[in-house]
Amino acid sequence: MNQRVRMNGMRFPCLAILPMLAFAASGLLQSPRVSVVQARETSADVTPPVTEQPAPAAGSDRDGWRLARQHLPELLPVLEYLREHEPERYERAMRELDRSAKRLEVQAKRGPAFLDNALRQWQVRGQIDLIRARLKVSPSDAGRRRLQAALRKQKEIEWERLQLDRTALVERESAIRQRLVQTTQLAERVRRQREELDRAIELLGAERPDLKMPDSSAGNTTEPATGRIPSSENSTRITPSRSSS
Residue 84 lies in a domain: yes
Instruction: Report CA-CA distances (Å) from 116 to 112, 122, 171.
Output: 6, 10, 19
- Between 142 and 216, the higher pLDDT residue: 142
What mean pLDDT comes out for the span 217-245? Answer: 49
| pLDDT at residue number 155 | 97
Residue type, 30: Q
**How far apart are the C-alpha atoms of 96 and 122, rounded to whole Å?**
12
- The yes-or-no verdict on residue 153 having pLDDT over 80 is yes
Residue 162 lies in a domain: no
Split at pLDDT 50, 70, 90, the class of 58 is low
| pLDDT at residue number 1 | 44
Task: Give the total number of structural domains in the chain.
Answer: 1
What mean pLDDT comes out for the span 159-187? Answer: 94
**How far apart are the C-alpha atoms of 79 and 24, rounded to whole Å?**
14
Query: Collapsing DSSP states into helix, strand and coil, what is residue 211?
Result: helix
Q: Is 227 left (phi over 0), alpha (psi -120 to 50) or beta?
A: left
Work out the burial of residue 225: count CB atoms within 10 Å of its CB; fewer than 13 is exposed, 13-18 middle, 19 or more buried: exposed
Residue 87 lies in a domain: yes
Per-residue pLDDT tens over the stretch 201-224: 888 877 776 665 555 455 555 444
- The yes-or-no verdict on residue 184 having pLDDT over 60 is yes
Residue 97 lies in a domain: yes
Residue 184 lies in a domain: no
| pLDDT at residue number 138 | 92
Residue 8 lies in a domain: no
What mean pLDDT comes out for the span 157-185? Answer: 94
Range of 7-16, 43-52, 113-122, 195-204 with top mean pLDDT: 113-122
Among residues 80, 73, 94, 92, the alpha carbon closest in space to that of 40 is found at 80
Residue 165 lies in a domain: no
Whole-model pTM: value is 0.54
- Between 165 and 204, the higher pLDDT residue: 165
Q: Give just the sign of the alpha carbon dihedral 221, 223, 228, 234.
A: negative
Per-residue pLDDT tens over the stretch 88-133: 999 998 999 999 999 999 999 999 999 999 999 999 999 999 999 9
Residue 215 lies in a domain: no
| pLDDT at residue number 52 | 45
State which residues form the domain around 110.
13-46+57-157
Split at pLDDT 50, 70, 90, the class of 240 is low
